[in-house]
């Protein structure tokens, strides 16, 4: 397995994973997430892969995409309230349902963490939906802890 920046040749596999991760959220929160779809089109992904402020990484075995991590650099500079801080936000991470249990997610996460350290980030952040306790347990096993909590009241 190799982990690297995503390329145009990975887009088909990334789109398949985006459907899988969307369905986890759709099943858990059908009031918020639509059924089988993706958050990006093929054309949007082509543009995103060129954006160094939003790196996308893939775990591949040959040409097969086993997992992906969509990241976004976020920076606070010169703000009144917050200290100057560079963060790598993980917007989306997914391991193919047929590759789970093979430590793909762990290696992908560790790759992203090492990337963030090289880029001199202060921290890594992400959001976890409460309807996905397996993801939360995974991130806790990777050493992440709660930074803040989002709450809602459905009307």
| Separation CA 56–CA 88 (nearest Å) | 12
* 155 within domain boundaries: no
- Which CATH number characterizes residue 18's domain? 3.40.630.30
* 10 within domain boundaries: yes
| Separation CA 88–CA 54 (nearest Å) | 9
| Nearest by Cα to 115 from 28, 41, 54, 43 | 54
Residues whose CB is less than 8 angstroms from the CB of residue 142 and which lie 6 or more positions away in sequence, other chains included: 106, 109, 110, 113
* 129 within domain boundaries: yes
Question: Is 112:94 a contact under the CB 8 Å cutoff?
Answer: no
Q: How many residues comprise the chain?
A: 155
* 119 within domain boundaries: yes
Residue range of the domain that includes 106: 2-141
Question: Is 111:131 a contact under the CB 8 Å cutoff?
Answer: no
| Separation CA 151–CA 127 (nearest Å) | 12
Question: Is 86:77 a contact under the CB 8 Å cutoff?
Answer: no
* 25 within domain boundaries: yes
- Number of domains, the chain: 1
* 148 within domain boundaries: no
pLDDT tens across the length of the chain (155 residues): 999 999 999 999 999 999 999 999 999 999 999 999 999 999 999 999 999 999 999 999 999 999 999 999 999 999 999 999 999 999 999 999 999 989 999 999 999 999 999 999 999 999 999 999 999 999 999 999 999 999 999 99
* 24 within domain boundaries: yes
* 72 within domain boundaries: yes
């Amino acid at each position: 397995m190799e982990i690297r920046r995503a390329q145009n040749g990975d887009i088909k596999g990334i789109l398949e994973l985006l459907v899988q991760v969307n369905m986890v959220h759709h099943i858990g929160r059908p009031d918020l997430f639509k059924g089988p779809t993706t958050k990006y089109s093929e054309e949007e992904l082509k543009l995103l892969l060129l954006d160094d402020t939003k790196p996308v990484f893939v775990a591949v075995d040959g040409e097969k995409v086993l997992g992906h991590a969509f990241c976004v650099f976020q920076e606070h500079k010169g703000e009144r309230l917050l200290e100057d801080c560079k963060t790598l936000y993980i917007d989306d991470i997914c391991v193919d349902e047929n590759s789970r249990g093979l430590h793909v997610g762990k290696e992908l996460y560790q790759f992203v963490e090492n990337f963030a350290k090289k880029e001199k980030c202060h921290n890594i952040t992400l959001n976890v939906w409460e309807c996905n306790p397996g993801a939360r347990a995974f991130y806790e096993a990777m050493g992440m802890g709660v930074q803040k909590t989002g709450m809602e009241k459905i009307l």
